[in-house]
Amino acid sequence: MITGEASVSTTDLPADQNHVYVEKYRELITRLFGSPERFAELYSIALRISPQSIRGH
């Protein structure tokens, strides 16, 4: 398990404008949400997670 802190990103583009992300996940996004634009409407806040420690093994 990895623990860390999440924060709202003020610098990331909306998901549908991040071309590398859209190309990687286009098929899944389209299947689940209909379009990258709809996905970005539903998930409009970008989060950045900073790992802090690893627990377990």
Q: Which residue has the tokens 């610098």?
A: 11
- pTM recorded for the entire structure: 0.76
For the CA atoms of 35, 39, 41, 43, what is the dihedral angle to 10 degrees?
-170
The domain spans of the chain are 2-52
Whole-angstrom distance, CA of residue 39 vs CA of residue 54: 31
pLDDT tens digits for range 1-15? 999 999 999 999 999
- Ranges of beta strands (E only) in the chain are 2-8, 47-54
Among the listed residues 27, 21, 23, the one whose alpha carbon sits nearest the alpha carbon of residue 46: 21
Instruction: Give me the pLDDT at residue 29, please.
Output: 98
Instruction: Give me the pLDDT at residue 9, please.
Output: 96
